[in-house]
């Protein structure tokens, strides 16, 4: 087969800052209708047209629907800060809760 009729291989890379990257392979299989050229008498379609246009391949991968997971490195851990009460605004002081 000519080089232009070879199956292409693709990968979809999905990424966003703070999330784990995911790579999804896109798969193709030989289209059954490609051999229909023999029945219809379309030898030209089988040897030239379908291989050149990629019509001899059928997308096998279903639509991509991915949920990205937050990267472990970016998950904020709770922290404890000790501050002087004098540095708080009056509004913040009113929201304080006394604990015994």
- What pLDDT, in 10s, does the model give residues 30-63? 776 667 666 666 666 666 666 666 667 777 777 8
Question: In this predicted structure, what is the pLDDT of residue 60?
Answer: 76
Question: In this predicted structure, what is the pLDDT of residue 89?
Answer: 92
Paired tokens of 15: 């990424």
Give yes or no for residue 99 having a pLDDT over 80.
Answer: yes
CA dihedral 9, 15, 19, 25 (to 10 degrees): -10
CB 24 within 8 A of CB 65: no
Question: In this predicted structure, what is the pLDDT of residue 80?
Answer: 83
Question: In this predicted structure, what is the pLDDT of residue 45?
Answer: 64
Q: What is the pTM of this model?
A: 0.47
Residue 51 CB partners (closer than 8 Å, separation 6+): 1, 2, 4, 5
Q: Please tell me the distance from the alpha carbon of residue 53 to that of residue 4, in angstroms, as a whole number.
A: 9
- E strand or H helix at 26: strand 22-26
In which region does residue 41 sit, left (phi positive, over 0), alpha (psi from -120 to 50) or beta (all else)?
left
Give yes or no for residue 90 having a pLDDT over 60.
Answer: yes
């Amino acid at each position: 087969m000519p080089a232009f009729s070879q199956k292409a291989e693709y990968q979809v890379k999905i990424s966003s800052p703070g999330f784990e990257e995911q790579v999804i392979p896109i798969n193709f299989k030989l289209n059954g209708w490609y051999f229909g050229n023999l029945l219809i008498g379309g030898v030209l379609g089988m040897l030239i047209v379908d291989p050149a246009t990629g019509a001899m391949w059928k997308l096998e991968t279903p639509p991509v629907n991915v949920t990205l997971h937050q990267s472990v490195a970016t998950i904020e851990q709770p922290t404890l800060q000790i501050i002087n009460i004098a540095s708080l605004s009056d509004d913040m002081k009113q929201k304080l809760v006394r604990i015994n």
